[in-house]
Chain A
Amino acid sequence: MDVRVQGDAFDVGAELSAFGQGDANVGAVVSFTGIVRDVAGGLDRMEIEHYPGMTEKAIATMVDKASARWGLADSLVIHRYGVMRPGDQIMMVATAARHRVAAFEAAEFLMDYLKSRAPFWKKEFGADGSSWVDAKDEDEDALSRWD
C-alpha cells in the first residue's frame, strides 16, 4: 500500500510503469486519474484544503478495506492539496490484483470513498469570485452500493 497526500504534481506514467511490477500473481492493473475541469467556463483555479493527519489515516483505512475485500496485491493513492488549474491532475488511484474485476471494483470503491469520506474540500476561483464546491447527493448514494 502506498498513500501519498502532497502539494506537488505527480507523474502518472512513471507511477504506473513501476506499479504492480515484480509480483507474478498480478494479472490486472487498473488506474484512475482525476483532473481539474472547467464545467461552466471561467474557472481560474481550484484550491483544495485538507486535514493533515486525518486525511492520510482516512485514506489508509479505505485502502485496507479494499485490499481485504478484493485481495489486492498492491494499491496506490496519490491526492494533492493546494492550488490547481484546469487540466491539472488532482489525484490518482491504482489497484493491482490477480483478475481485472477485482482491480476495477476496488478502484471504484476507493474513488467513491475518496469523494465523500476523505477530508478534502474544494474551492473554485473564477471571474465572478470564489465558492466552495458542494458535496453531491449522488456521491453519497454511490457509497451505499458497497454495503
Chain B
Amino acid sequence: MVEVMYFAWVRERIGEPREQVDTNAATVADLVEELRAREERYAVAFSDLSALRVALDQELADFDAPLAGVREVAFFPPMTGG
C-alpha cells in the first residue's frame, strides 16, 4: 500500500487530496498507468505527464523512479512559490 497525494489542479481533477492505493507497480510510470485505467477523472488528471511533477517520500523524483520501499507518492503541477 502507498499513500498517494494530489496537489493544486491535480487534486481538483481527481477530487480528493489523498488516498491509499494497493499497488504492485514497479515504477511511478507503472502506478500512473494503473491510476489512468481506473476512471476518467484519473485519465484526465494524468493525460499529460510533462505538465506534472512527482515526489517520492517528499523528495522530487522522475517518472521512471522505482517505487520499492516508497510510502508516500505525491503528484502535482510545476511549483509556483516565491
Contact of A118 with B79 at beta-carbon distance under 8 Å, contacts A51-B55, A51-B74, A54-B58 already known: yes
Contacts of A57 in B (CB 8 A): 58
B77 close to A135 (CB less than 8 A): yes
Asked if A79 meets B55 with Cβ closer than 8 Å, knowing A49-B7, A49-B8, A123-B8, the reply is no
Q: Mark B29-70, 1 if CB is under 8 A from A, else 0.
A: 000000000000000000000000001001110000000000
Q: Is the CB of B82 within 8 A of A119?
A: no
Report the nearest B residue to A90, measured CB to CB: B82
Q: B80 and A54: CB pair below 8 A?
A: no
- Chain A interface size band reads 20 to 34
Q: Contact string, A5-20, partner B, CB cutoff 8 A, digits 1/0?
A: 0000000000000000
State the CA gap A58–B9 with chains docked (Å). Answer: 21
Do B8 and A54 have beta carbons less than 8 Å apart? no
Shortest CB distance A115–B (Å): 4
Judged by a CB distance under 8 angstroms, whether A42 is at the interface is no
Q: In the docked arrangement, what's the CA distance between A119 and B58, Å?
A: 10
CB distance from A33 to the nearest CB of B (A): 11
Cβ A117 vs Cβ B77 within 8 A: no
**B79 touching A121, Cβ below 8 Å:** yes
Q: Which residue from B7, B60, B74 sits with its C-beta under 8 Å from A117? A: B60
Judge whether A135 and B7 touch: CB under 8 Å. Answer: no
Pairwise interchain contact B82-A111, C-beta atoms closer than 8 A: yes
Q: Which of chain A's residues 13-69 have a Cβ closer than 8 Å to chain B?
A: 34, 49, 51, 53-54, 57-58
CB contacts (< 8 Å) of A114 on chain B: these are 81-82
Which residues of chain B have C-beta atoms less than 8 A from A79's C-beta?
A: 81
Cα–Cα, bound, A116→B57 (Å): 19
State A123–B7 Cα separation when bound (angstroms).
Answer: 12
Q: Which residue of B lies closest to A54 (CB)?
A: B58
A58 to B53 alpha-carbon distance, docked (Å): 14
B58 x A135 contact (CB < 8 A): no
Q: Considering only CB atoms, which chain A residue lies closest to B53 in the complex?
A: A119
For residue A106, CB closer than 8 A to chain B, the reply is no
